[in-house]
Amino acid sequence: MNIVFSTERLIVRPWEESDADRLFDMYGRMEVVQYLGATPQVMTEPEQALRTMARWRERSTDPRFGIWAVQRPDGVVAGTVLLVPLPDGDGEVEVGWHFHPDSWGHGYATEAARGAVEKGFAEGLDEIFAVVHPPNTASVRVCERLGMTPQGLTDRWYGIELAAFRIARS
């Protein structure tokens, strides 16, 4: 298994074709995608999962960055954590997370995101951002638990108004 990083309870690794059913199950739920993008859309066909994984792999040409599977101790993929350059930015990098509802409420998002932030800082990043739809209070709380500082509302990166958070390397 190709491990990107691990935390106390989680293994973060590339998505694999064998994960396609889980990815489809997760991103086929409106409660998971409701805060993703300007026009949230659920996956409606299993083949979309494979195409999404291929697109994510193509985006990950710099080994510092990626969109990875987060695996629980029981071997089940809990969700996704990402560390990627923000679109239309000036080199700013975003940490983000999306989790299956059966993995909500266990601290996995905070743990995986903290690991991604630590990876980014270890590889030389000076600051990392998160952008969150303001009504997504669960993700706002993750930003707070990570020690991120609110930066206010912005439409700078995704063309929709999002709450920005920032953490700097200490």
Residue 13 lies in a domain: yes
CATH number of the domain enclosing 27: 3.40.630.30
Amino acid at 29: R
Q: Is the pLDDT of residue 159 over 90?
A: no
Q: 104-145, pLDDT tens digit by residue? A: 999 999 999 999 999 999 999 999 999 999 999 999 999 999
Residue 158 lies in a domain: no
Q: 56-68, pLDDT tens digit by residue? A: 988 778 889 999 9
Residue 137 lies in a domain: no
Residue 136 lies in a domain: no
Residue 28 lies in a domain: yes
Rounded-to-integer distance, Cα 158 and Cα 170, Å: 28
Rounded-to-integer distance, Cα 149 and Cα 14, Å: 29
Q: What is the DSSP letter of 148?
A: P
88 — pLDDT class (breaks 50, 70, 90): confident
- The model's pTM is 0.95
Residue 34 lies in a domain: yes
Residue 156 lies in a domain: no
Task: Tell me the average pLDDT across 83-88.
Answer: 93
Task: Tell me the average pLDDT across 16-34.
Answer: 97
Task: Tell me the average pLDDT across 2-9.
Answer: 96
Q: Is the pLDDT of residue 1 over 80?
A: no
Amino acid at 78: A
Contact, 115 vs 83, CB < 8 A? no
What pLDDT shows up at residue 38? 84
DSSP states along 30-99: HHHHTTSSSS-----STHHHHHHHHHHHHH--STT-EEEEEE-TTS-EEEEEEEEEPTTSSS-EEEEEEE
Task: Tell me the average pLDDT across 84-98.
Answer: 94
Residue 89 lies in a domain: yes
Residue 16 belongs to what domain range? 5-125
What pLDDT shows up at residue 139? 97
What pLDDT shows up at residue 59? 79
Question: Percent of the chain at pLDDT above 70?
Answer: 100
Domain count, the chain: 1
Q: Among 43, 44, 42, 55, which Cα is nearest to 15's?
A: 55
Backbone CA torsion sign across 118, 5, 62, 166 = negative
**Dihedral, CA of residue 77, residue 75, residue 2 and residue 131, to nearest 10:** 30
